Amino acid sequence: MPRKFRLTWQAGSNGRDGRWRKKYKDKVYYYSGGSGKYDRDAYEAAIVAWETEKLRVDANAPRPHQLQYEQAIEEWEQVLAWSNRHGDLDMATIAFEKVRSLRTRVESPALSPLRASDWFTDQLKMPTIELPENLLEQTAADLAEGNVEFRTLPTLTSAKAAEYAEMIDGSPQRITRDIWRDRLKQQERRTALRDDTLHTHVEEYISQKEQQVEVGQLSAGRAYAIRLHLSYFRDWLGRDMGVAEIDGSALLKYQSHLLSNLKVKEWSRTTAQHYLKTVKAFVRWLWQIEAIPTLPRVLDGKSGPLNIGSNTPAVVVYTCDEVTRLLKAASDRTRLYILLMLNCGMTQKDISDLTVEEVDWEQGRITRKRSKTSQFENVPTVSYLLWSETFRLLRQERSPVSSGRLLENANGSAICTEQIGSDGKFKKTDNVKNAFDRLRKKEDIKKPLKSFKKT
């Protein structure tokens, strides 16, 4: 079954990469498309960025029916929290899907009125009573035979009649409705009386990660993935759930939910694994700051029950013929990018972060730590002897500065950047990838850029 996208894909053109597009209230918003339309992480990041933007826009201009949508979503969130707390998995599944469906629909430029089925009370329907086909004939016969007696009843208002009907209604539906009414009132009281909700701690955890981005301890892309993963977990478990109630049972149920996404949403095992790993790290953090009294036992060790193994991907490498074709067709700058990846195993970020001081211009060597792990003291510093063509192009393409970044754009900016803006949006530029994608398309080669590290 084809995947349904909530954003519109806009293919790249004239050197511009493909991107996600959303038109809302006569304004168009664009988000990074990553490596392409089927880059799941980029798409999910775009969804989170759009939802953040939409909250800001809606806060400034409420629309018709918006209040009703918010009320319905809040009611379903309370149902979800209660159901997860008490192990009602069937109702939790219904509530989770209802919340996501309503949030998707509320993104529409014009909101349609809510349907009866959008409210939780519609789940508690009155039964359909089968009436005999000859009911009218039977009634007529009873009247003719004098079997029906009429008594004088006091005059009742419609409100009083409804009150009496409610009092004598002993149907299972009425009882269930009252039970759920009590449950949700209890859930609302729990929410109002404390500030240890899952939503509060998720926001605090994400705020700490964004601070790490500011001081260079964490990449902006990783911080954004954490927000994406924990927002999903929060919505599944219930934003008003108390963190003290996150136990081993809840985590195993979440793992089961992620595994079901492999089939229902065509997730890869790697995607499900990443979502679970983020939640496990978050729960450990809750324990470390004493927000939860004990660490769930399912988190003990690496081989415990809380684990989703990823598929071992096939190793993709370039053939000698493909490398030759690409190097011949590439511009000098793009050829240098490829050679640095082949010669030194660099990533795009390594190339962007390479500094003048890390190059021995006499010996033709690069000596540095990988950008990804450079903040760790025990990571080795490696010295790479450059091939003659790599060294020649490096001297040719270097920036004129005597210190700092070795390779820059024409305007002096970094060739690869990641940042989270003040509006909460994740913004990424990758001119290494952009240049290679143009070359790859020209040569009709499908293999990804990262495969150079394995070639």
C-alpha 346 chain-centroid distance: 29
- Ordered by start, the domain boundaries in the chain are 8-120, 198-299, 320-454
Which among 170, 159, 219, 187 is positioned nearest to 75, based on CA atoms? 187
Task: Tell me how far CA of residue 335 lies from CA of 120, 134, 209, 343, 392, in angstroms.
Answer: 60, 88, 36, 12, 11
pLDDT by residue (tens digit) across 191-206?
A: 544 568 898 899 999 9
pLDDT by residue (tens digit) across 376-432?
A: 778 889 999 999 999 999 999 999 887 889 999 888 889 998 887 766 677 888 999
Long-range Cβ pairs for the range 43-48 (8 Å, 24+) = 43/5, 43/7, 44/228, 45/224, 45/225, 45/228, 45/426, 46/7, 46/20, 47/6, 47/7, 48/224, 48/227, 48/228, 48/231
Q: pLDDT means per 10 residues in the chain (455 residues)?
A: 72 81 83 84 86 78 78 85 79 86 82 86 66 76 70 68 61 66 66 71 91 83 90 88 89 92 86 94 94 89 78 84 94 96 93 94 93 80 95 94 88 85 76 92 90 84
* Helix 220-237 with 248-264: angle, nearest 10 deg: 100
- Please give the Cα distance from 62 to 65 (Å, whole number): 9
What is the reported pLDDT for 431? 92
Sort residue 294 into left (φ over 0), alpha (ψ -120 to 50) or beta.
beta
* Helix 431-443 with 332-344: angle, nearest 10 deg: 100
205 touches 215 (CB < 8 A): no
